[in-house]
Amino acid sequence: MLPELGHFALILALLLAALQAFFGIAGPMFRRERWVSAVTPAVAGQAVMVAAAMGCLIASFVNEDFSVAYVAENSNSALPLFYRVAALWGAHEGSLLLWIMLLAVWTVAVAVYATRLPRLFAARVLGVLGVISFGFLLFTLATSNPFLRLDPPALDGRDLNPILQDPGLAGHPPVLYTGYVGFAVAFAFACGAMLQGRMDQNWARWTRPWVTAAWAFLTCGIAMGSFWAYYELGWGGFWFWDPVECASFMPWLVGTALIHSLAVTDKRGLFKSWTLLLSVLAFSLSLLGTFLVRSGVLVSVHSFAADPSRGVFILSFLIVMIGGALALYAWRAPLLKSPAGFELGARESFLLFNNVLLVIAAATVLAGTLAPLISGALKLGTVSVGPPFFNPMFMLTMLPLLALLSIGIHASWKRGRLGTQQRTLLYTFVAAAVLGCGLVYGIYSHGHLLTPVGATLGLWIILSSLVDPVDRLRRRLSLPRAVVGMTIAHIGLAIAVIALTTVQSFTNERDVAMAPGGSATVGGYQFRFDGVRPIEGPNYDGVGATLVVTRNGSAVAVLKPQKRQYWVQHQVTTETAIHYSRGNNILVALGDDLGASRWSVRIQIRPLVSFIWIAAVIMALGGALALSDRRYRLAREAATAPAGTAPEHA
């Protein structure tokens, strides 16, 4: 019964999404007041129906209803409750439902916020969100329905993919999708403005908090995925330029560019059409990512069960949404006029460089991701593009970006003179270079050229970012949260750069064959292998090894990596053991049984690697702080009175 209710709720949600889309777009177009009034109830109704569908599917998982095909394929009676719930988004159908649910949550948030927006503009924004939701609901119902029954029911389920049986599954997809889907709001704001044919004075201010929020979620989501890969999947690797990683990284790059161009549009009224384009692109890349993951055109660790009919559907949807938005852009954007320009050395120029570099970086990642497709289409044979392409290409755009960051934050709007800031920049740069090179050569006494460069640029960003806030504090001037947020996010980026360059240069890794009692020395640590013994979990058994780690005779840690064999799918997973010591991550993974109680063991020592994820959290935190800035709250108070009553804000 519950699955049928869920299925029915999903159909109702589809109808309500159609109404929301129609009334939201046609209402303002034909000036039908009552149509416009119907938009918000449709939003609310759709959200309730989607939540009901989600609830029904969760209940089917919790109740172990193996008559539902999706449950039978992704769960098992031996699966712990925690994973039975998270298994909901462990495969294609359920993760689509999660996608739709999160879109509904964002839409409700926009509807609540919309009381501060001009009425017709808000209706258009909600209408565009309705179109997106309609497309995804139709996709789910037509090709990927999670509520289909199995007749007769399965006796037990085929179990959740063992690789996914990790706490990471509970956090990574929802947070990542929240970010992904969040860019739909900026997309809708852009389409709303273009449908209206005019960009309100406050448009950028309305859009900014939404972009920042989505960006912060996406940052966290990507970092969580990377951390998960590090300890579970990747044998100590944390970024693989896998097509799906790229798919989440492209919207992040464009979203970062959008945050910066929105700042210019908000402050100076410039870059209007460019900002609109980026708003469209950020979400378009999220959609493209969805296509790449689910159509099966690219092979990746994240691949869902591939089905060409799904690919055709998503491609048609991409054509309607992205093609439609870009055509609208080609038609409407020429109408936008920017006021007077700016001088070459002004902050606007630096933000323009930032945008150009970030977009080039995103385009590079896109090219690398699609290279196998393009070469396949041109019959050039199978090409696979990996780190040897991505790492240097990416660095090529990131190094100038980082170098210009410090100067950019000290440049003034409109005018191109750096004035007294020149000296500050010089001093901070010299300090960073001395400190950076000193630290790198002091600690490691050798190194790749990249590390001192990375350390210098990172430290320069940190020092120069702090100059202005410290100065303001000393003079007891107020420090807006937006500035604090920006500073924190930039510092987060700098930490990530320092950590990444250090990890790249100073990782120590060895695969060794070890017999009980045998030992190995890696990176100044001694590892003694004490053999393996059998283990058993709720739905798996396997072996666990014990390694005693010492450094110069004093104990550091006892590490217990495991190798598990899950019963239902007979799949083997590797559970690494990690210890954090003196800024290093010591990771041990158990490899193959080499016979005669000898085992292959991977030992890896990575300096500062934790700081990559910490840095991402710091960046997201900066975003969250900027979000809470006073000016967004002021905008709310100012807008409630006039905009609520006027039919269209002039």
Tell me the CA distances in angstroms from 253 to 23, 179, 361, one per residue in order.
Answer: 34, 13, 7
187 φ/ψ angles, rounded to the nearest 5 degrees: -60, -45
In 3D space, the residue among 497, 487, 480 whose CA is nearest the CA of residue 464 turns out to be 487
Could you tell me which stretch among 319-327, 435-443, 482-490, 518-526 binds other proteins (CB under 8 A)? Answer: 319-327
Could you tell me which stretch among 101-109, 370-378, 534-542, 637-645 binds other proteins (CB under 8 A)? Answer: 370-378
Q: Does residue number 142 form part of the binding site for other proteins (CB under 8 A)?
A: no
Binding map of other proteins across residues 50-79, x = CB under 8 A, - = no contact: ----------------------xx------
- The residue with tokens 């493209």 is 288
- At 381 the three-state DSSP class reads coil
Q: How far is the CB of 475 from other proteins (least distance, A)?
A: 45
Q: Does residue number 258 form part of the binding site for other proteins (CB under 8 A)?
A: no
Please spell the DSSP secondary structure of 93-144, one letter per residue.
HHHHHHHHHHHHHHHHHHHHHGGGS-HHHHHHHHHHHHHHHHHHHHHHHHH-
**Cα–Cα distance, 238 to 504 (Å, whole number):** 11
Could you tell me which stretch among 46-54, 198-206, 321-329, 523-531 binds other proteins (CB under 8 A)? Answer: 321-329
Q: How far is the CB of 373 from other proteins (least distance, A)?
A: 4
Could you tell me which stretch among 75-83, 109-117, 330-338, 545-553 binds other proteins (CB under 8 A)? Answer: 330-338
Q: Under a CB-based contact definition with an 8 Å cutoff, are residues 91 and 73 in contact?
A: yes
In 3D space, the residue among 507, 514, 510 whose CA is nearest the CA of residue 532 turns out to be 514
Q: How far is the CB of 288 from other proteins (least distance, A)?
A: 8
Binding map of other proteins across residues 198-237, x = CB under 8 A, - = no contact: ----------------------------------------
**Cα–Cα distance, 583 to 399 (Å, whole number):** 25
Q: Does residue number 374 form part of the binding site for other proteins (CB under 8 A)?
A: yes
Q: Does residue number 323 form part of the binding site for other proteins (CB under 8 A)?
A: yes
Q: Does residue number 295 form part of the binding site for other proteins (CB under 8 A)?
A: yes
Could you tell me which stretch among 77-85, 263-271, 280-288, 617-625 binds other proteins (CB under 8 A)? Answer: 280-288
Could you tell me which stretch among 135-143, 260-268, 315-323, 606-614 binds other proteins (CB under 8 A)? Answer: 315-323
Tell me the CA distances in angstroms from 138 to 18, 25, 314, 469, one per residue in order.
Answer: 10, 19, 10, 50
Q: How far is the CB of 280 from other proteins (least distance, A)?
A: 8
Total count of residues recorded for the chain: 650
Q: How far is the CB of 151 from other proteins (least distance, A)?
A: 8
Of the two residues 158 and 649, which places its CB atom closer to other proteins in the complex? 158
- Residue from 145, 412, 571, 600 in contact with other proteins (CB under 8 A): 571
Q: Does residue number 472 form part of the binding site for other proteins (CB under 8 A)?
A: no
- Taking CB atoms within 8 Å and a gap of at least 24, the contacts of 102-105 are 102/174, 102/177, 102/178, 102/181, 103/129, 103/132, 103/133, 103/136, 103/181, 103/184, 104/13, 104/46, 104/47, 104/50, 104/51, 104/133, 105/47
- Residue from 18, 39, 117, 297 in contact with other proteins (CB under 8 A): 297
Could you tell me which stretch among 134-142, 155-163, 200-208, 537-545 binds other proteins (CB under 8 A)? Answer: 155-163
Of the two residues 492 and 542, which places its CB atom closer to other proteins in the complex? 542
Tell whether the torsion through CA atoms of 394, 493, 446 and 548 is positive or negative. Answer: negative
In 3D space, the residue among 229, 260, 332 whose CA is nearest the CA of residue 576 turns out to be 229
Tell me the CA distances in angstroms from 443 to 439, 440, 506, one per residue in order.
Answer: 6, 6, 11
Of the two residues 378 and 449, which places its CB atom closer to other proteins in the complex? 378
**Cα–Cα distance, 98 to 175 (Å, whole number):** 11
Residues that bind other proteins (CB under 8 A): 72-73, 150-152, 154-155, 158, 161, 273, 277, 280-281, 284, 288, 291, 295-299, 305-306, 308, 311-312, 315, 318-319, 322-323, 326-327, 329-330, 333-334, 370, 372-374, 376-377, 382, 569-571
